[in-house]
Copies of this chain bind each other. A is one copy, B any other.
């Protein structure tokens, strides 16, 4: 297989890149700058590509992101603190973000004669993000098979989502299994100098390492907050 991995530079997609590399099919990483306030994550994806010795393609979608208004990731709206299981996290949805990134990835995969696109969606994302759910992934695959019918010599391009029915704890375990340099990944939505420790993705990251029984080497501005949120809300 020849796999293109959609890699934000976050914990999930960097771990996926290491996993796909170990499985022997990694050919390139693809990142997007859609004007997310934490677009420093793209530098971590670049570092990952260098570590794994594959090309890194960055697509500038800031014009698109500027039109996808209403999200705290791209607009001047405060990033909420708390746990992903809270309704308040819905303000972090960028409408159709995954579908847009994935159609571009499938187009590039066709041109590169790759036969797989890998995406690190996981079970912890299902509650908030409709474009991370199994029914979306299945429908997307069907749509792509029609859209590219006859264009790929090797048949349909596979959509590889090994964490779709697992949660971030499983990804934390995989960081150990695949020797992922966790310090060289960026999750925090706020995009400041260190991980805030309070936003949904920081809380989930810290919680995942705890549940996996692994040390989290990440430096958090507030390293205790996650425990109060997890105790109260989960």
Within 8 A of B (CB), among A84-106: 93-100, 103-104, 106
Q: Which residue of B lies closest to A102 (CB)?
A: B103
Complex interface: chain B residues within 8 A of A130 (CB) = 146-151
Within 8 A of B (CB), among A110-169: 110-111, 130-131, 133, 135-136, 139-140, 142-151
Other-chain contact of A107, B60, B67, B111, B146 (Cβ < 8 Å): B67
Distance in Å from the Cβ of A77 to the closest Cβ of chain B? 13
A144 to B135, CA, bound (A): 11
Within 8 A of B (CB), among A64-92: 64, 67-70
Other-chain contact of A64, B97, B104, B151 (Cβ < 8 Å): B104
A60 to B135, CA, bound (A): 31
A229 sits at the interface (CB 8 A) = no
Q: Which residue of B lies closest to A59 (CB)?
A: B63
Q: Are A95 and B111 in contact (CB under 8 A)?
A: yes
Q: How large is the interface on A (under 10, 10 to 19, 20 to 34, 35 or more residues)?
A: 35 or more
A230 sits at the interface (CB 8 A) = no
A102 to B200, CA, bound (A): 30
Q: Are A96 and B100 in contact (CB under 8 A)?
A: no
Distance in Å from the Cβ of A62 to the closest Cβ of chain B? 9
Distance in Å from the Cβ of A124 to the closest Cβ of chain B? 17
Distance in Å from the Cβ of A144 to the closest Cβ of chain B? 7
A182 sits at the interface (CB 8 A) = no
Q: A64-B59, A146-B135 are in contact. Are A100 and B93 (CB under 8 A)?
A: no
Q: Are A147 and B108 in contact (CB under 8 A)?
A: no
| B-binding residues in A (CB < 8 A) | 57, 59-60, 63-64, 67-70, 93-100, 103-104, 106-108, 110-111, 130-131, 133, 135-136, 139-140, 142-151
Return 17 A-B CB contacts under 8 Å, by A number. A59-B64, A64-B104, A67-B108, A68-B107, A68-B108, A96-B110, A99-B107, A100-B107, A103-B103, A130-B148, A133-B146, A133-B149, A139-B142, A139-B143, A139-B146, A140-B147, A142-B143
